[in-house]
Amino acid sequence: MDAMQTMERLVEQLNQYNYHYYTLDQPLVSDKEYDALYDQLTALEAETGIVLPDSPTGRVGGELLKGFEPHRHLAPLWSLDKAQTEEHLINWNNRVIRLIDDYNSKNPDNPLPSPTYVVELKFDGLTLNLTYTDGKLVQASTRGNGVVGEGILAQVKTIKSVPLTIPYREGTIEVQGEGIMNLSVLAKYNETAAEPLKNARNAAAGALRNLNPRTTAERKLNAYFYNVGYSDNIQFTDHRQMMDFLKDNRFKVNTYIEYFDDFTQVMKALGQIQERRDSLDYLIDGAVIKVTDMRTREVLGYTDKFPRWAIAYKFEAEETTTILESVSWNV
């Protein structure tokens, strides 16, 4: 088979998997298998310089389900670049440093600081984008294709920790987080469920994209927030300040969040998270590393799909519903 035929086959296969994963919330294959095929396609596209028009590498999210009102995000919701090896992470960091150095050599009067990093857990659920106007929750949506998502306000309102009003009342903001189902909640749900749910990620995504909010409510979902994606009036100087804003406005923020000046410490932290992964009461599929300074983020900018200032370190795929003792990171 030549490269073109292989690419056509991969595109077709991956689009089929995407449909089952994002639209039906019923994956046909494991994430590991999916990621291997995706990487194979990306490599072939780089090698041949050809990207087929319906290639999944050009898009961020999934198809919109009929029955939900579309919501146009006020700022795009990006995907994340992914690394599975230390080498890949080091390359990412080297590029960050190089871009900062380039900028500083052209702007010696107003240089960017040396990069510092924040490490967060990469929750495995469904992306949520919440819109607040003058302090009131007015919309909630899925990521969809990154530009337009599905309005799921009634469903999101069933998540008890999501604030319906917030103290910040100056115009409109959009905040992003992840809707999840805690593993202990899933286990309890399955004790009496007519149809037990196999996997917490799909249980959460399926519940949030269910046209009947009562079904959503029965799943007793939870959510962690990690980003202010849009705001009329407010600007943050760094990630810490943004997280303080989220906390001050009563959003649930995960207790694991660590800041580092030194990239070797970041790598160490990733190993520690991986070791503690199985003791968490929710699924994570990795950790996310972000540059903390907001001006640096602006300078580094975005590729078609990803911010250059962040990268996801993906762990080996694992689907588990086992719960061990909870640890102090759980809120």
Q: How far apart are CA 188 and CA 30, in angstroms?
A: 24
Q: State the nearest-atom distance from the C-beta of 134 to ligand NAD, in Å.
A: 26
Asked if 21 interacts with ligand NAD (CB under 6 A), we say yes
Binds ligand NAD by CB under 6 A, chosen from 120, 150, 174, 293: 120
Binds ligand NAD by CB under 6 A, chosen from 55, 93, 116, 127: 127
Asked whether residue 24 is marked as a ligand-binding residue, the answer is no
Contacts with ligand NAD, 193-232, as mask; x by CB under 6 A: ---------------------------------x------
Report the catalytic residues: 122
Compare residues 115 and 179 and give the one whose CB is closer to ligand NAD: 179
Asked if 27 interacts with ligand NAD (CB under 6 A), we say yes
Packing angle between helix 31-48 and helix 3-18, nearest 10 degrees? 140
Cα 62-283-301 angle, rounded to 5 deg: 55
Q: How far apart are CA 126 and CA 201, in angstroms?
A: 7
The 10 Å CB-count burial string (b at 16+, else e) for 230-253 is: bbeeeebebbeebbebbeebbbbb
Residues present in the chain in total: 331
Packing angle between helix 86-106 and helix 263-276, nearest 10 degrees? 150
Cβ atoms 254, 328 nearer than 8 A: no
By CB under 6 A, the residues from 226 to 265 that bind ligand NAD are: 226
The helix/strand count (H/E) of the chain reads as 10, 11
Q: How far apart are CA 126 and CA 145, in angstroms?
A: 13
Asked whether residue 157 is marked as a ligand-binding residue, the answer is no
Q: State the nearest-atom distance from the C-beta of 312 to ligand NAD, in Å.
A: 5
Q: State the nearest-atom distance from the C-beta of 247 to ligand NAD, in Å.
A: 15
Residue type, 130: L
Stretch that binds ligand NAD, among 13-21, 39-47, 196-204, 212-220 (CB under 6 A): 13-21
Asked if 123 interacts with ligand NAD (CB under 6 A), we say yes
Q: State the nearest-atom distance from the C-beta of 79 to ligand NAD, in Å.
A: 4
Asked if 35 interacts with ligand NAD (CB under 6 A), we say yes
Interacting residues with ligand NAD (CB under 6 A): 17-18, 21, 27-31, 34-35, 79-80, 120, 122-123, 127, 143, 178, 226, 288, 312
